[in-house]
Amino acid sequence: MSFRYLKAFLASVILLLPSALSVTASGQTRVKAVTLKVKIISATDGQPVTGASCLVTDYGIFDIADQNGNIRLEKVPAGKAEISIQMLGFEDYKETLNIQRDSSLTIRILESSLTLEQVVVTAKSSAAGSSTSSSIGRMAIDHLQATSLKDIMQLLPGQLMASSDMTSEEKLTIRTLNASTANNAFGTSIMIDGVPMSDNTSISDKVSGSTGGSGVDLRQISADNIESVEVIRGIPSAEYGDLTSGAVVVNTKAGYTPFEIRTKVNPTTLNTSFGKGWKFSKDAGSLNINADYARASGDPRNKNRSFDRVSGGITYSNTFSRIWSTTTKVNFSSIVDLRTVDPDLLVEGTETTQKQYSIRLTHNGRLSLNKIFSRSLTYALGLTMSDNESRTSSIVSADGGLPVITSLTAGYYQVPYITESYRAGGGNVSTPVNFYAKVGNVFTANTSKVKQRFNMGAEYRLESNKARGFYNDDDFMPLRPTSNGRPRPYYDIPSLNQLSGYFEDNLTWDITSRMVFKLQGGLRFDMLQPGLPEQVHSISPRFNGSLKLTDWITLRGGWGQSNKTPGLAHLYPEPKYMDREAASYLPSDASKRMVVYNTRVTEVQRNNSLRNATNTKSEIGFDLNFKNGMTASVVAYRDYMANGFGNFTEYDVYYANYYTARQGIAIDASGNPYIQWQNPARVDTVFTTSGRIGNTQASLDRGVEFDINFGQIKPIRTTVLLSGAYMETQTWTTGPNYSSPSGIPASSVYAQGGANTPPFKLLYPSGLSKDINRRFSVNLRLVCNIPRMKMVFSASNQVIFYQYRHTTNQKSDPIGWVDTDLSYHEITEAMLNDPSYTIKGVLLSAQRKNPADSNPVTQPPIWLMNMRLTKDVSRNFGFSFFVNNAFFYMPYQSSSYSGTKTERNTGTFSFGVEMFVKI
C-alpha cells in the first residue's frame, strides 16, 4: 500500500529528470564551461591557506586548497556565480564573480580576530530564497561564553536571554512559546557534522524522570568545539527530514587550529577545554583533537545537585586525489548527573545518579565528480552508541500499610501488606544505537538566464534500544510498589528502520539584470518500519521562493510540510497495569491480615494507528539592503501542527470483584481469613485505558520576526542591531475527550469502586480548551569593537513589551456516551434540552459544562540588560567577561489578574569570566 507512494515519488523524480535535462540540452544558449584557478592567501601574512575549501554555491563545484593554497574549479558555467571560501580560524568569504573565460585570481581571506574592522558577535540572517535561518559563528559563541548549544539559541529573534545552569535537561524548541509540549523539541532536528542526533529511541526513564520522545538533551554537546551553528527556523530544505519544528545544523572544528585552552568560570559552572589541530605533510591530511570538562551546580551553595561532563573528540580530515575530501570523527561524551540529599542525611534519603556515556563515529565525504549528472556526490555515515544508566536508592514509604503489588500477569493475588517503610534500589538502563547513512548528489543545469541546481539523495536509519530497561534490585521490594512500577525490559522492543528520499530543485532566474527570482522546491519521502503493521510514511513538499525587485528590496515567501516519525516511546508503549483492591481485611491482630489485589494488564504491542506528526509551515516577508550598510529582514510565519503525539484515550471494560468481611471473606478453623471467590460483596465494572499514544496534540505557532542591522556608527565604532518577534502559540488536544459523569453520590455502587467505575463515560467535543501564549519582545544590541584595542563590547537590552497567557474554557455539552458494554450512544440536542433527561439515572442536564471563562493574564513590560566584553590581550591570550542583568533589576510587579506582586527577572543575574590561551 505504502509502496505505491514510494513508486509515485520515484516516478516524479524520474519525470523531473528529463525536464531538467531538457533545459540543458535544448537550451540554445547553452553556456560554455570555464576553469577558474584561485590562490587563497591569508590577509595577515600573505601565506597560502592550505586546506581552505572553496565552493561554487550555485553549482556545487568545490575544491580544497593544496599546500600552496591553490584551488582549481573546473567546468564552471560562464556567468555570475557565487563562490564561498571557508577555513577554520578565518572569516567566511563570499563573493559573486562574473566569470566569462578561463581565469585565475588571488583571494585574501581574513583571520578571525578582534583586530578586524567588523566583528560579528550576533546571529546572521540567511539570504532570501532559501530557508529562513540564522547562522552563528565562532566569534559569537566565544563572546557569548556559551557552555552548551542551548545558550546559543538566545541570539535568535524573539528568543529571550537566559543563562542555563545545566543541572536539568536542556532541550531546544523553535518558534514556540509553549516549551512544555514535547512535540516541538522532539521535532527539532539536531544535525552534527551532517549526522542527526536522534531521540527516536529514548524511552521514558522512570528513575530520572525523563520522558521518552521529547527531544535531544543538548548538554552533551560542548560549545567550545563548535565552529558554527545554523538554526533553520523556516521551511527547511528537503534534504533535512524527520523533523517538524526546524533544524539546528552544527559544524564542529576540523583541520588545523592552534593549541588552545579555554576556561570559563561563573557561579554555577566551571568549564575547561583544550583543542589542537595539526596539518600533516602533503596528502597526509590533518588531525584535530579536543577535550572538554564541565562541572555545574544549580546553586553554588547547594552541593546536592551536580552535573559533570567530560567530552572529547578526534577528527581526521584528508583529501584524496583532489576530488575526494573526507572528514572522520570519533567523539565521546560522559555525563554524570547527580541528585541527592545532604550527605549527612544519606542514610535516610534518596540519591539518584544519571550517567550517560556515548560514542559517536561520523564519516563525511564529498566527491567532486564534476559530471553532468553529478557535480558533487556527498555521503555521510554515522554511528552513535550510548549507554545511559540511572540509579536510584530511596526509602519507600509504607505510610502505615502498603500492599506490594508485583504481579506481571492478570488475576487475583494475595499481596504482602507491609507496614514498615523499606529501602529499595533500582535503575534504568537504556542503550540507544543509531546508525545513519546518507548519499546525496548535486548537479546543475543552466541557461544564460536560468540556473538550476538539483539536489537529491537518500537516507537510511536503523535505530534500536535493546537494554535491561527499568529494574528493581529486589523485585519483591520494588522501588514503586504501584501500577507504574513494574520492571520493563526493552529487549522485545523492535528496532526502527527508516527510509527516506528527497529531490530538490534550486532555481535562479535572472529576469532582468537587477530582478532575480529564486525558488527552492523539493519533495521528501519518509517511511518508517516498512512492511510492519505499524508502518508510517509521509510525503513532504517544501517551497521557498524570493523575488529580488531591485538592489535593495527582496520579497520572500515559502510553504512546506515537514514530518516527524514517531519514536519507540510512541510506537511501543509500556503494558498498562491496573491494580484494584479486591479485599482488605485488616483486623487489629496483625497476623490475621489479608490484602488481595486484582491485576489487569492491557498491552498495546504495536501501535498501528499512529501517523507522522505533520507541521505545515508558511512564511512571507521581505529583506531590505540599503547602500549605507543597513539591512532589515522581516518574516511573518505560521506553523500549524494538527497531529502531534499525545495521549490517546480508548476504553476497555472488565469486571473486578470486591470481598469484605461481611461477604466473601470467611474465617477458617484456625482463625485465618480466606476468600470465598464465588461470593463477592460487590462487582465493579471498571473502565481502563490502554496507554496508547495518538496524534492528539495540536499546536499553532504564528508571529512576526524581525532583524534590523542599522550598521556601524563610525565615530563610536558601534553597530546597532535590533531584533525581536511577536509570537503567539496555541496548543490544544484533539483526541477524544472523555470524562466520567459528575454528581454520582459517594454512597452509590459506582463511587464505591473508586474513580474508574462510573456508570458510563461521557464524550465531550475536544479542542475547546486552548492554551494561548503571546509575547512581544525586542532585543537591542549595541556592539562596539575597537580593533586597535582588540576589544569587543556588547550590551544587549531586552524588553518584553507584552506577555499574555490564557487558557480558554468554553461551554461544552456532551455529544455522546459510552456504556459499560463499550457501545456508543449519541446525545442529541433534544436530550440536552430536556431538563429531566437521565442516562442510567444520572441527570444529563447536570453534565452540561458552562464555566466562567478564566481571565487572561498579562504581565507589565520588563527590561533586562546583559553586558559582555571580549579582549585579546595579545595574539596568544585573551579574556571575556559577562554580567547578566547588569543593573540587578528584579522588580516586584503584579500581573493584570492578580494583585500579588511577584519578583520578575529572577535568576537572571549572573556573571562570569572566560580566559583563553592560544599557542
Residues lying near other proteins in the complex (CB under 8 A): 348, 395-401, 419-423, 583-588, 590, 658, 660-663, 665, 681-682, 739, 742-743, 745-747, 751-752, 754-755, 809, 812, 849-854
Q: Which is nearer to other proteins, 109 or 396 (CB)?
A: 396
* Helices and strands (H and E) in the chain: how many: 7, 55
Task: Considering the complex, state which of residue 39 and residue 592 has its C-beta at the smaller distance from other proteins.
Answer: 592
| Nearest C-alpha neighbor of 691 from the set 577, 782, 600 | 577
Residues in the chain: 919
For other proteins, the closer CB: 849 or 918? 849
Least separation in angstroms between residue 678's CB and other proteins is 17
Cα–Cα distance measured from residue 724 to residue 634, given in angstroms and rounded to the nearest whole number: 10
Beta partners for 821? none
Contacts of 167 (CB under 8 A, 6+ apart): 268, 296, 297, 298, 305, 306, 307, 337
Closer of 410 and 661 to other proteins (Cβ): 661
Return the sign of the alpha-carbon dihedral for residues 764, 765, 767, 771. negative
To the nearest whole angstrom, how small is the minimum distance from the Cβ of residue 196 to other proteins? Answer: 40
Q: CB 88 → other proteins: shortest distance, Å? A: 53
Alpha carbons 145 and 915: distance in angstroms, whole number: 10
- Provide the pairing of β-strand 226-232 with 246-252: antiparallel
Alpha-carbon Rg for the chain in angstroms: 31
Phi, psi of 397 (to 5 degrees): -80, 125
- Going through 297-446 in order, the beta strands assigned E by DSSP cover 305-320, 324-339, 351-367, 376-396, 402-403, 411-414, 417-418, 422-430, 432-446
Q: Are 675 and 742 in contact (CB under 8 A)?
A: no
Q: Minimal distance in Å, beta carbon 896 to other proteins? A: 16
- Cα 236 from Cα 215, distance rounded (Å): 18
Minimum Å distance from CB 268 to other proteins?
24
Which uninterrupted H or E stretch holds 581?
A: strand 576-585
Nearer to other proteins by C-beta: 592 or 611?
Answer: 592
Cell 515537514 -> residue: 562
Spatial distance between the Cα atoms of 327 and 678, rounded to a whole number of angstroms: 73
CB of 586 to other proteins, least distance (A): 5
Q: How far, in Å, CA of 161 to CA of 164, rounded? A: 10
Closer residue to other proteins (CB): 40 or 594: 594
Give every CB contact of residue 354 below 8 A, 6+ residues apart in sequence: 205, 207, 208, 335, 336, 337, 338, 339, 388, 389, 390
- For other proteins, the closer of residues 43 and 661 by Cβ is 661
CB closer to other proteins out of 642 and 749: 749
By beta-carbon proximity to other proteins, the closer residue of 421 and 910 is 421
Residue 134 has a CB neighbour count (10 Å cut-off) of 23
Closer residue to other proteins, CB minimum distance, 429 or 665: 665
Cell of residue 389, nine digits = 544508566
Q: How far is the CB of 418 from other proteins (least distance, A)?
A: 9
To the nearest whole angstrom, how small is the minimum distance from the Cβ of residue 420 to other proteins? 5
CB of 347 to other proteins, least distance (A): 9
| Least distance CB 142 / other proteins (angstroms) | 42
Q: Between 742 and 902, whose beta carbon lies closer to other proteins? A: 742
Positive or negative, the Cα torsion across 31, 34, 39, 40? positive
DSSP, residue by residue, 660-729: BTTTBEEE-TTS-EEE-TT--SEEEEEEEE---EEEEEEEEEEEEEEEEEEEEEGGGTEEEEEEEEEEEE
Q: How far is the CB of 676 from other proteins (least distance, A)?
A: 13
Element spanning 4, H or E: helix 2-26
Q: Which is nearer to other proteins, 27 or 856 (CB)?
A: 856
